[in-house]
Structure 1
Amino acid sequence: MIFVLLFIGLAAALPLFGQQYRLISLRPNELTKVTEAEWWRLKQQNTQFLDLTGRYPTLLEPMREGQSVSVTLEKPVIVYNYPNGSEFHEKEVNSLLTDIDPSKIQGTLEELSSFKSRYYKSEKYLDSSIWVYSKLLGYALGRENYNLTVVNHEKFPQSSYILRIKGTNNSVETPTIVLGAHIDSMNLVLPSFLPAPGADDDGSGVVTLLETLRIVTEHGLSFPNDIEFHFYAAEEGGMLGSLDIFNAYFLQKKVVAMLQQDMTGYAAKSLRKGQPEHFGLITDYTSPYLNEFLRQVIETYCRIPVFETACGYPCSDHYSAHMNGFPAGMVAEAQREYWNPYVHTTGDTIDKLSMLHIAEHVKLCLGYVYELGEYSF
C-alpha cells in the first residue's frame, strides 16, 4: 500500500479568496471579470460557472469589470471505443449487484449528512472531510494495489481524495477509469454559518461511490485497467478541486472514461409529476460515445429507464475532465426539471431521498467499473 501526499499549487499572483475581482467562465472558451459581490449573486441565482481566477492571474489586472475575453479553454476530446452489450460480463456483474445494501447506503448517508456543513472555505467544517478520508483509509489499509492520495489545494482548506486500484496491465500507459463525486456542500444564504446537510448534493453521489467501492473491495476485484474513485473538494466554488486534478492529469494520464455522480437520490418530483422513476443522462458537454456505453450499462443492469437531459455549462465536475480532453459523462437522479429543489438549503436532508434510487446508481457504477476495467483500450 502506498500513500501519497500531493500538493497542487497553481501559480497565482493574487489570492483566490478575499480579492476584489474574480475570473469566471460562464460559457465555453470565455472568461469574464466579476466582483466578488457579483460572484455571490450568480451563485445565489444558481448560475453555473467555472472559477478560473487562479489559473489565469495575469489576465485579471488589465481587464475591466464585466469585460469578457476569448480564451481557448477546451481541448479536443479523445475518442475511444467502448464495449457493447454483447461483450458484457453479465454473470460476474450480476453477482456483485446482489450485494448492494440499501441499509448500508442509508447508514453511510446519515453519517455524512449529520455534519453541519461541508463548506470548502471554512476550516471549522473539515471534520466532514476527515470522515471521508477515514472511510477511504479503511479500504486502503493492508491492500498493496490500493493507493490513497490526498490532494491539498492552494487556496482553500478542504482536500480532495483519490483512491486508485492499480491495474494489472503493465503497459507504459495504463488506461484509467474514473468515478467522481464532490464532497462539499453549501448553503447559499450564509455559507459560513447556516447548516448545509447536502444529503443529495452531493452526499448521495459520495455514498454511491463508497458503496461501489465497498463491494469491489469485499469481492477482492482487480482489473487490467486502473480504477480511480475521486472525491472532489470545492465543486460549489466553481469546480475548483476537479479542475486542479484534471489540469494536472493533462498529458500525464490516459483517462479513457470519467463518470460523475452528482445528486443520485431524489425521485419524488418525477413520481409526483406522473413520470416513472428514471435516470437523467446528461448529453451536453459529455462524450456521446461514452454516453452510449452508459445507456447500455443501464439497460443491462438497472431496473429503471434512462432519459436524456441537458445540464448546461459547466454543470459539474465531469466538465473539468471534458475541458482537458478526457471523455466524460454524468448520470443524474432524473431529467433536470425533476431534480431536487431543496439543494443549497437547510432542507437538503436524507428524509427526502430514496435509498433504492441510490442503489440503482450503484448498479450503474458497478457495471461501469467492471466492464471498463476489463476492456482492452
Structure 2
Amino acid sequence: MLNYSTIIGAVALLLLSTATQPSAAEEPPLVINRATNQINFQLSPPIESLLGGENQHRLSQEKTESLLTDNHLERITEHIKAYPEKRLIRWADGRQEWTTEGEKALLIFKDGRRKFVDITDSWLASDLHSDAFTLDSDPQLLNPTFVTHHSSDLLHQSNSPAHSFPHKIKLGHQAVANFTRLIQPARMKERLTKFTDFRTRYYRSSTGKESQAWLLNEIRTLVSKSKSNVTVSEFPHKWGQNTIIARFEPNGEEAATRSSGTFIVGAHQDSTNLLPFLPAPGADDDGSGTTSILEAFDILLHHNWTPKAGQGALEFMWFSAEEGGLLGSQEVARAYRQANRPVDGMVQFDMTAFVKKGTTPTVGLVTDFVDPSLTQYLRLLIDEYLAIGWTNTKCGYACSDHASWININVPSAFAIESSFEDSNQKIHSTGDTIHQPEFSFDHMAEFSKLVLGLVLELKGL
C-alpha cells in the first residue's frame, strides 16, 4: 500500500512544444491533497492546454492506491528517462502536441483510456494530411480525399475507386452452418488463458515479445495442418513486438483472375495497464478480439478454405502497439498504401467478451470514424448469422486500429462487445481477466460467427 508521506516530491512529466520544434517544460510536482484524499498533477500551462485546460487533474486515492507502491514513482521516472524519444500525438479535436515515448504512459494513467493517436512516423514521412485522425460522423470530412460509398454527389475526387458492399445476404446461416457449428468456446478459453498468462503484452516489454512469439507459433501450427493457401508473416516494428499477418490467397489460376482487393480482419495483440510496467493480463482488451478472430481463422483452415476466383485475398492481422497510439496498424497501413496494394475493406474486433450484468448481449457497432456502408453490411450479417442483435454506439476518438485504415481511404468498421457505456470498465488494470463474472466466452463466440459470415459472404463458401 502506498505511503502518502513518500509521494510529495517531483516526477518527470510531459515534454511539450509546438508541432515543429519540441522543447522541454518545467517539471511539475505530483502531490497529495490530504483534505480530499486525491493526488493532483500540478500542471504547467502547456500541459493544461494538452489535457483540457484545468489547473489540476486529479486521480482518486482509491485509483492510486490500487496502482502505486512505494517504488512506483521511482519506476515512473525510470520509464520516462528510458524512452526520451520525442513523439507527436494528435487528439480527437485535431490538436497536436509533442511529448516523449516515456511520457505517453502518463496520459493513459490519467484518463484510463488512450485518447490520442501517435502520428510521429507518418508526420516524419510527410504522409499525413491536416485532418488525419480527427473525428466527425462523415468520413469525407475526416479525410478530404475519402470517397464515400453511398453518394454520387462527391465534393472531392480520389485516385482510389469507391467500394460498395452488398445490400442483401447471399448465403444464409444454413449454408455456413458447417463452419459456425465448429466454434468451440472451450477451445477459445484454453487459448485465451495461455495468452493472458504473460505478465503483460505491453509492446515494449520482453513479455510483449514473448506473447507475440507464442501467438505466431499458434497460428503457424494451425496453418501447417491445413491445405489452405495461406502464408504467415511478421511485419517488423522497431519496438520488437511485430504485427502478425496471415493471408489466404486464391489458388493457381484463381489468383490470376482476381478482380477484387484484399479484405482485412483485425484485432490487437498488445495490452497495457495504466502504468506500462504493471501487470496487464488484457483478457478483454484485446485478448478477446484476438481469440475471436483466431477461432474463425482456425475453422477456415479446418475446412481447407480458399477465396473464390475473382474475390481477392483475405488477411487476418493481429496488430502490435495499438495501446501506444495505433502504432502498429499505422505502419502496416502506410506500407500498404505506399506499395499501392488494393484493400477493399477492414473490420476491427477490439473487446468481444464482456456482457454487463442486467443488459442484453449485443454487438456494439461504432458509428463515428467508420465507413457507413460497411457498418450497414455488418448489421445485415449480424441479423442473419448471430443469435444476438446489434447496437449503435460511438467511441468518440480514434479508438482502435480501424482508424489507421480509414485514414488511408480504406472502408473500415469496428465491432465491440456492447455500447461503450456498457463496456468493460476494468480494462487497463489487473482486473481485466477471464475470471470476471461478466466475462463470456459464448459472447466471444458470437463475434467468431460474425467473422465467418463476413468472410464467406465476401470471399465465397
In the superposition, the TM-score normalised over structure 2's length comes to: 0.70
Structure 2 distance, partners of 1:58, 1:84, is 38
Whichever residue aligns with residue 410 of structure 2, its letter is: F
Whichever residue aligns with residue 114 of structure 1, its letter is: D
Structure 2 distance, partners of 1:337, 1:158, is 31
CA, structure 1 residues 28+138, in 2 after alignment: closer, same or farther (shift >3 Å)?
farther
Aligned residues of 2:230 and 2:246 also touching (Cα < 8 A): yes
CA, structure 1 residues 110+38, in 2 after alignment: closer, same or farther (shift >3 Å)?
closer
Whichever residue aligns with residue 328 of structure 1, its letter is: S
Aligned residues of 2:406 and 2:412 also touching (Cα < 8 A): yes
1:250 CA displacement: 1.2
The count of corresponding residues between Structure 1 and Structure 2 is 344
Whichever residue aligns with residue 71 of structure 1, its letter is: S
Superposition RMSD in Å? 2.3
User: Does 2:221 correspond to 1:221?
Assistant: no
Aligned residues of 1:85 and 1:300 also touching (Cα < 8 A): no
User: Does 2:91 correspond to 1:26?
Assistant: yes
User: Does 2:144 correspond to 1:56?
Assistant: no
Name 1:365's counterpart in structure 2: 451
**Residues 104-123 of structure 1: matches in 2 within 5 Å?**
104-123=187-206
Name 1:264's counterpart in structure 2: 352
SS at match of 2:183: coil
SS at match of 1:237: coil
User: Does 2:272 correspond to 1:207?
Assistant: no
1:358 CA displacement: 0.3
SS at match of 1:284: coil
1:256 CA displacement: 1.1
The range that moved more, 252-261 or 361-370, is: 252-261
1:356 CA displacement: 0.3
User: Does 2:248 correspond to 1:165?
Assistant: yes
Structure possessing the higher relative contact order (Cα contacts under 8 Å, 6 or more residues apart): 1
Whichever residue aligns with residue 367 of structure 1, its letter is: G
Structure 2 distance, partners of 1:70, 1:360, is 37
Structure 2 distance, partners of 1:78, 1:132, is 36
1:21 CA displacement: 3.5
**Contiguous gaps of at least 5 residues in structure 1:** 1-13, 60-68
CA, structure 1 residues 82+134, in 2 after alignment: closer, same or farther (shift >3 Å)?
same
Structure 2 distance, partners of 1:233, 1:293, is 27
Describe the superposition over 1:206-244 as per-residue Cα deviations: whole angstroms up to 9, x where unpaired: 111110011101011111321100000000000000000
Structure 2 distance, partners of 1:327, 1:28, is 22
Structure 1 distance, partners of 2:125, 2:451, is 40
SS at match of 1:308: strand
Structure 2 distance, partners of 1:354, 1:41, is 31
Aligned residues of 2:273 and 2:430 also touching (Cα < 8 A): yes
Whichever residue aligns with residue 260 of structure 1, its letter is: Q
Name 2:146's counterpart in structure 1: 76
**Residues 173-188 of structure 1: matches in 2 within 5 Å?**
174-188=260-274
Structure 2 distance, partners of 1:277, 1:72, is 35
SS at match of 1:204: helix
Aligned residues of 1:30 and 1:71 also touching (Cα < 8 A): no
Structure 2 distance, partners of 1:369, 1:144, is 14
Describe the superposition over 1:308-349 as per-residue Cα deviations: whole angstroms up to 9, x where unpaired: 000122010000011011000011000000111111111100
CA, structure 1 residues 103+230, in 2 after alignment: closer, same or farther (shift >3 Å)?
same
The range that moved more, 118-127 or 311-320, is: 118-127
Whichever residue aligns with residue 118 of structure 1, its letter is: R
CA, structure 1 residues 305+150, in 2 after alignment: closer, same or farther (shift >3 Å)?
same
Aligned residues of 1:31 and 1:71 also touching (Cα < 8 A): no
Of residues 228, 231, 234 in structure 1, which corresponds to 2:321?
Answer: 234
CA, structure 1 residues 262+187, in 2 after alignment: closer, same or farther (shift >3 Å)?
same
Structure 1 distance, partners of 2:183, 2:228, is 25
